[in-house]
Structure 1
């Protein structure tokens, strides 16, 4: 049977992307892993459920292990949904007026870049978070395309935006920041639908707050430690103390000294690129810090008021993974930090003698077992070759793709003379700005969403000035006028007989006009 024309592009994109993603999945079977991956398994297999990571993603890990005995089910589902999201996005690009070949090429490039091709096979909460961001972008594009075609947007596009925002807030604890940054862009650009967009954003955010404040405590799920939640604020203090020590009072120094030696605060402040230099080292007493949370936050507030340039500068520096094309100094952890995907024999220390995972029945699943070793060797070679410093800005950092995507969307909106098209920048802008509010280090996993959307948006720069295609037919201005049947020729009227004038009638007054 011949496929309907409108299904050929998304199905072709899905098939090609799925093959590439399955190659990565098979190379790192049952899944690429990181330190966090082991933590998830420890949470759900030992009863130590914690809210320092995504509890819903922990639930998916639990379902995969209990239902099938392996993490491969979860990672397989991730690579399938990733390919589906790319196919949907390519179809939307075509709907926006991009040629099918260029829409497909953008999706193919997105999986050909090693950093993005491997990422869906990770056991990481950031994978469904990224899929959710792409869904919001694509659904927004569908609404814009329908407006440009002079049609009412489909209701399912709005529901997909709501589902995407729900994924953002469920799969990352600070995902509500991304949603809060995105919604003003959407509301301003698509102001005709402002009420629906506000509801579809604020309801998921409110739901996430209900989970963290009411549901998780009721289920005895341990809350995230304040030293983790406010690590960025403490790092701001350290950087400012290193740069402006004279602005700190004796009272400030006393509070700091209770948590860590002052020399350590100064040393940790030498790098503005990572909060781990302060909060993730033994000298920083997390137990004491958690007991002094109010005092430390008050100190952060005083620091921000006294030297806003230093404190805000530290936060902007730490968020440079989102806006700086070239990486910072490697010796200051300014380079892009990525996961290799493999697992050390001691499972990153979790399974060491006396470790929390020693003897865990699921340890065997916490190691990569490639389905084909030659394929694994080839994929690892490609991955490591892509890590060369000269290509880091292109293959592992998001900013250049973010700027390219925003520029392409702006050019598209100008050609279409439609400010509504600027709504397509929402998820890129949200991804770049949200890390300024909360970002511990130069972690690649924070930026696959904006990077991927930037890659997909580039073809919009070449979409031309023609109107977006309509699903129900060409727009009214483009339809050919139908020929009307020729009007019948009027029958000739009979000539009137000459009238007989009555006697005594005048020449004008007694005649009808």
Structure 2
């Protein structure tokens, strides 16, 4: 094929693919079609010039990414409504072709640019330098919303820290942390200050580690500023939620795994690194209930990958498990800690049963009678919200004793049989309830996610909003509001499914550079996502906040390389 023919084919293919993509996403402005077309021409031309560098595996993986991206971002498709199924299929195929070329082009560009992995000697003072933007910006949120942001979840732990009986519904460790900090100043501001400090140190440490590996300072300064400017980091730093610390530790833990992979396991042999690893692991397991299973499952894969380092890994892992066992055993008993509500794990099954009831699905009289014991059938229909289980599980009429502690097996049998009888309805309920995890395009209406709050919930502790600076409050409030402007802005900033996609995509690029063991870097945050996936109670961004943080360092990680690796994509 000569150059002129290749050029004409590129133009024609880009025009068709751009038209398909435009119809798929309901693009109406002609100027956007022009932009999409020009980007498509560049991507197709670039990919055609590099066809020899791609493997069958590249095509398969990028195709899977493309399908997920299209399905996850699909909207109402108003331009296609009323048309034949064949047209829908054709538009999807053209959009698929377009996205494929874009992702392949990005893949090739990133793999061409690399930072040689190094082990430089740099002052640890750089940690504070990289944390400086957060030091400057995060306190503005504390000034704006002084003494912090507290919701009912916050006060559930604040009350325990002030003498109420301990319970482990929200992790006790965060309660004990609050109880310790208020010995200094009995104000939520001290908790917010601690969270800001921890955020600064972890952000700074991660970027410092990348500088040690040879990433240029200019790039790291930009990343430091971006982290400080991201609205979730600012408002969450002053929000009294255990999720904030958990996700910060998830970031630190992932950074440690990056070091493990880059050093081929040798990083864990140094005492200072062991201390950092243990610190991040303890934070991971103590500040949210799903952290311990995430750590255990990950540890098994870590042993398989670096079995030669078993003399370091085994005692570290055992010591962490023993500490957790002592903490949840004798210490819980000594403090008379009440167990968490096991019903929190039944969000998905409850939503599936509710959807079957609402749509008058197939159920036997025995199944109806049992489900009616848990919650009156009429109220299942009245209280069912397809995107959150809270209205049902927090209702006064919801009878937990019909499930726990003695009838859980009966509940599982009824749920399973009802699911087999109504597969379409239970899948529909599952897809909606878990949309926060997998759906990039936010569902309209009831499916909208909660992002952040700025209020202090009504409480009996006399904690009220204090105006330190009206101007700063107005400025930060407006900044937050702009960040969740409906459409692309909110999707890019606040939708965790998009951040998961980006992290996995750049994680795949890292896999092409470093091989199979590099997938360990993706495992902690993916295990966290999977744990949320099976028990997500509501559409709240905070559950997946760590995905955004981890995405940032995985992008940086994907630009590193080993000298002996081939330049080829394969």
TM-score by length of 1: 0.77
For the pair 1:405 / 2:522, whether they are aligned, the reply is no
1:257, distance to aligned residue in structure 2 (A) = 1.0
Distance in 1, Cα, partners of 2:200 & 2:394: 36
Based on CA coordinates, which of the two structures has the bigger radius of gyration? 1
For the pair 1:101 / 2:218, whether they are aligned, the reply is yes
Structure 2 residue aligned with 1:428: 525
Distance in 1, Cα, partners of 2:464 & 2:406: 39
Change (3 A) 1:456 1:371: farther
Distance in 1, Cα, partners of 2:181 & 2:293: 29
Structure 1 residue aligned with 2:336: 220
2:233 to 106, 109, 116: 116
Distance in 2, Cα, partners of 1:48 & 1:187: 40
Distance in 2, Cα, partners of 1:40 & 1:185: 34
Q: CA RMSD in A?
A: 3.0
Q: Is the 8 A contact 1:29 1:72 kept in 2?
A: yes
What CA deviation, in whole Å up to 9, does each residue of 1:372-428 have, x standing for no partner?
33212211111112121212211112122222122223213323x443332221232
1:203, distance to aligned residue in structure 2 (A) = 5.2
Count of matched residue positions in the alignment of Structure 1 and Structure 2:
443
For the pair 1:276 / 2:393, whether they are aligned, the reply is no
What CA deviation, in whole Å up to 9, does each residue of 1:120-163 have, x standing for no partner?
21111112111211110111122223339x88753433443333
1:239, distance to aligned residue in structure 2 (A) = 2.9
Structure 1 residue aligned with 2:471: 374
Distance in 2, Cα, partners of 1:466 & 1:116: 35
Distance in 1, Cα, partners of 2:380 & 2:311: 47
Distance in 2, Cα, partners of 1:214 & 1:304: 40
Distance in 2, Cα, partners of 1:343 & 1:225: 25
What CA deviation, in whole Å up to 9, does each residue of 1:149-188 have, x standing for no partner?
x887534334433332222221112322332453455445
Distance in 2, Cα, partners of 1:306 & 1:197: 47
Residues 234-253 of structure 1: pairs in structure 2 closer than 5 A:
234-242=350-358, 245-246=361-362, 248-253=363-368
Structure 2 residue aligned with 1:157: 273
Change (3 A) 1:228 1:144: closer
Residues 147-296 of structure 1: pairs in structure 2 closer than 5 A:
147=264, 153-193=269-309, 196-197=312-313, 200-201=316-317, 204=320, 207-208=323-324, 211-212=327-328, 214-242=330-358, 245-246=361-362, 248-269=363-384, 271=386, 273-286=387-400, 290=404, 293-294=407-408, 295-296=410-411
Q: Is the 8 A contact 2:353 2:418 kept in 1?
A: yes
Q: Is the 8 A contact 1:238 1:278 kept in 2?
A: no
Residues 6-155 of structure 1: pairs in structure 2 closer than 5 A:
6-7=123-124, 9-147=126-264, 153-155=269-271
Change (3 A) 1:398 1:198: farther
For the pair 1:335 / 2:335, whether they are aligned, the reply is no
Change (3 A) 1:116 1:151: closer
What CA deviation, in whole Å up to 9, does each residue of 1:184-227 have, x standing for no partner?
55445545446755664565456445544554244322222343
Q: Is the 8 A contact 1:97 1:466 kept in 2?
A: no
Structure 2 residue aligned with 1:482: none
What CA deviation, in whole Å up to 9, does each residue of 1:428-474 have, x standing for no partner?
21232111122101111111111111023223344466579xxxxxx
Q: Is the 8 A contact 2:128 2:200 kept in 1?
A: no
Q: Is the 8 A contact 1:97 1:467 kept in 2?
A: no
Structure 1 residue aligned with 2:56: none
Please give the secondary structure, in 2, of the residue aligned with 1:447.
helix
Residues 300-311 of structure 1: pairs in structure 2 closer than 5 A:
300-303=415-418, 311=426
Distance in 1, Cα, partners of 2:394 & 2:267: 54
Change (3 A) 1:198 1:393: farther
Change (3 A) 1:189 1:310: farther
Distance in 2, Cα, partners of 1:188 & 1:382: 46
Change (3 A) 1:172 1:285: same
1:254, distance to aligned residue in structure 2 (A) = 0.8
What CA deviation, in whole Å up to 9, does each residue of 1:278-299 have, x standing for no partner?
2123443456655775243442
**Unpaired stretches in structure 2, ≥5 consecutive residues:** 1-120, 566-570
Q: Is the 8 A contact 2:260 2:267 kept in 1?
A: no
Distance in 1, Cα, partners of 2:480 & 2:126: 29
Q: Is the 8 A contact 2:269 2:312 kept in 1?
A: no
Change (3 A) 1:6 1:227: same
Please give the secondary structure, in 2, of the residue aligned with 1:389.
coil
Distance in 2, Cα, partners of 1:86 & 1:59: 24
**Unpaired stretches in structure 1, ≥5 consecutive residues:** 352-356, 358-362, 469-513
Q: Is the 8 A contact 1:189 1:421 kept in 2?
A: no
Structure 2 residue aligned with 1:509: none
Give the stretch that moved more between structures: 94-103 or 178-187: 178-187
Please give the secondary structure, in 1, of the residue aligned with 2:337.
coil
